[in-house]
Amino acid sequence: MKYFRNYPWGMQLLLFLLMTFTFLSCISVIVLSTFTKITGYDITAISDITTATPYGLVQAARVVQGVQNMFIFMLPAFTYAYLCHPTPARYLGLRRPGKSIQLLLSVTLMAGAMPIFMLIKSGMELIDFGAKLKTEQAQLDNMVQGMMNMPTVGSFIATFIIMAVVPGVGEELFFRGVLMRFAKKRSRSMVAPVLFSAVVFAYAHSNVYGFLSIFLAGVLLAVIYQLTGSLWCSILAHTLFNGGQVFLSYLANNNKAIEATMKTDSVPYGYAAAGAVVFAASLWLLLKNRTPLPANWTDDFTPRELAELKQERENRQL
């Protein structure tokens, strides 16, 4: 089997993008052709979901979102890594953390950052980007609130898996595992790859008012990956980032104060200050316990394989 790693960088990137487009096209066709037949609802009704939407449609929309996330992010990353490298897990960065404490610090780091991100988003909402964008954002917020309708513990667990675990795994494999790796192969430092993966990550979420906070979350996830050398740490942090919102939405069903906070994205300054302290302490500890990605982490071939390839070429010339 000739792995994709044998091709030039540009060809590898093109193959990955084509693979992603193929998976995206397949799931689009599948959803458009089967959604109404299976659920009895029109597919266009998903974009109009609110808290008053029938729960059956909300459930169907959540399933569609989970399946789409798998097809757009998780499957292309896994498939490409399998076709690109004989050890796909190593290619994607799915290594054990260098130190066990890094998993805990990744969680506390993201937990401390979450109220800060929410505060940034609420600040962005004060900016007037025009009536059209404001209307689109209001529709998106209503849809998110409707998707977070979780009347039972079972619905909470299902929603947590679909909206926290699945994107936490899939998006990290795609943006940090593959895209950041591609960017690093054309950069001497980690700055450009981190910023590039974070920008694409934020753009993919199509949220103007949340763009800055999502971008900063992407930067933080990339930094976690860089400092720990393990994509599992950024996957855990990403799952917490999404899962925290799901958990708060579930609690809001029976708590008016939390419900008001979730609807307005308003965060008490005290919470943001406490989050900043937790964030700073966690980052300091993570820096002290860092086991960063090695300098050659983007190499497609090991030194031994390169030597074997060189010897093979020399033998062919004889």
Contacts by residues 275-281 (CB-CB < 8 Å, ≥ 24 positions apart): 275/111, 275/112, 275/113, 275/114, 275/115, 275/116, 276/112, 276/116, 277/112, 278/108, 278/111, 278/112, 279/109, 279/112, 279/113, 279/116, 280/112, 281/108, 281/112
pLDDT of residue 138: 82
What is the Cα–Cα distance from 228 to 286, expressed in whole angstroms? 8
pLDDT of residue 132: 85
pLDDT of residue 262: 60
- 82 occurs within a structural domain: no
- 3 occurs within a structural domain: no
pLDDT, tens digit only, all 318 positions of the chain: 689 999 999 999 999 999 999 999 999 999 999 999 999 999 988 888 888 889 899 999 999 999 999 999 999 999 999 999 999 999 999 999 999 999 999 999 999 999 999 899 888 888 888 888 888 888 888 888 888 888 889 999 999 999 999 999 999 999 999 999 999 999 989 999 999 999 999 999 878 888 999 999 999 999 999 999 999 999 999 999 999 889 988 887 767 666 666 665 567 888 889 999 999 999 999 999 999 999 889 999 887 887 877 777 777 776
Q: How many domains is the chain built from?
A: 1
pLDDT of residue 307: 80
- 209 occurs within a structural domain: yes
pLDDT of residue 93: 95
Of 301, 300, 298, 27, whose CA–CA distance to 179 is shortest?
A: 298
pLDDT of residue 33: 94
pLDDT of residue 318: 61
- 47 occurs within a structural domain: no
What is the Cα–Cα distance from 62 to 68, expressed in whole angstroms? 10
- 38 occurs within a structural domain: no
Decide: helix, strand or coil at residue 47. helix
- 2 occurs within a structural domain: no
- 32 occurs within a structural domain: no
Note down the domain range covering 271: 95-317
- 37 occurs within a structural domain: no
**Residues near 160 by Cβ (< 8 Å), separated by ≥ 6?**
243, 246, 247
In this structure, are residues 190 and 176 in contact, taking their beta carbons and an 8 Å threshold? no
